Structure formats: C-alpha cells, structure tokens
Amino acid sequence: MGIRAGDTYFQLARLAYRGISALSVMDMIVFDLSCSAGHGFEGWFKDAQAFKSQRKVRKISCPVCADTDIARVPAGSRISHGHAAAVDRAAQASAEARAWRETAQALHAKVAENCENVGPRFAEEARKIHYGEADSRGIYGEATVTEARELVDEGVPVLPLPRLPESDA
C-alpha cells in the first residue's frame, strides 16, 4: 500500500474492532482495543456508547485474526511506576514501539491480502456495503477527515490504518 496517511487523508479499512483508551480526535473518540489473541489496534467511534453497541452486535472484529471478542485496553496498563524505572521505561517503550510496528505491518499485510483496494471511493463503497447496496466484503482505501467522521457518525465500521514507519522495515 503505497499511500501514506497524511494530515488530510486517512487510509481506512472497512473492518471492525473493539476496545478503548480515550484520545479525542476532532469529535471522535479513539480507543485502544485488543482481541482475545492480544492483537492491538485502534477503533474510532462517535462516542463510548457507539463503541459499546457496535461491540455488542460484534461489528467490531480484529483486523489481524477477525476475532470479535474485543476488549478495551485499560488506560492504566501502560503506566510505569516510580522514577527509578526510567531505564525500564525506555526499554519498555522500545519494545512497545517494535511491537506496534510489527502489529502495524501485519495489519497492512492482512488488509492488502484480504481486502479490495477501492482507493478514493472508500467512503462511497463502505456506505454501500453498510446499507446492503453492495456485496459485503472487506475494502480499503482513502478518505478525508470529513468523510471518516461522517462514516463514524453513521455507525459504519471503519478502521484507521496505522502509519507505517518510513524506513527500518
């Protein structure tokens, strides 16, 4: 997937997820989610209630293994205790960065393998699928911030693909 996420465009995949760790982006909430196999990913939701209801009907699935047993990653799970742990924190941050990169790469590979690239038609196609006007299938492509927000508002399950590191792949 040669297109990079930028300030204006996001790569999105019509996949599901589940989880939470709040960081408010525009008027959306981003939750850190994890499946029962431990794959971490982000989910965008209009609000916490939207997450709960989508999770309940299993509209959120792990982008790596399609598991629908999704949980929100506890906000405190990444906090280290005590200032004596600086070295440990650095090591942990490094390990987390590596794990995140591997997860991101696995996610991109999985999406490219299993989903249809619809490019800039993402929002249109995701909406068609959501409303049963097109065959249900995984797709990926690009959408503007406005389009992404509209999809989230409508409850269309979409997933922001993490930006991959420029190098050190």
Measured from the CB atom, the residue of 67 and 142 that comes closer to Zn ion is 67
Residues in 67-86 that interact with Zn ion by CB under 5 A: 67
Candidates 6-14, 54-62, 101-109, 131-139: pick the segment binding Zn ion (CB under 5 A). 54-62
Closest approach, Cβ 127 to Zn ion, in A, equals 26
Alpha-carbon span 19 to 43, nearest angstrom = 7
Q: What is the b/e burial string over 6-41, where b = at least 16 CB atoms within 10 angstroms of the residue's CB?
A: eeebbbbbbbbbbbbbeeeeeebbbbbbbbeeebbb
Instruction: Give the residue, chosen from 16, 30, 62, 151, that forms a contact with Zn ion under the rule CB under 5 A.
Output: 62
Residues in 21-40 that interact with Zn ion by CB under 5 A: 35, 37, 39
**Contact status: 15 vs Zn ion (CB under 5 A):** no
CB 56 within 8 A of CB 94: no
Measured from the CB atom, the residue of 68 and 144 that comes closer to Zn ion is 68
Which x/- pattern over 115-144 shows residues binding Zn ion (rule: CB under 5 A)? Answer: ------------------------------
Residues 145, 120, 139, 107, CA torsion sign: negative
Q: Which amino acid is at 28?
A: M
Tokens describing residue 71: 């949980």
**Contact status: 12 vs Zn ion (CB under 5 A):** no
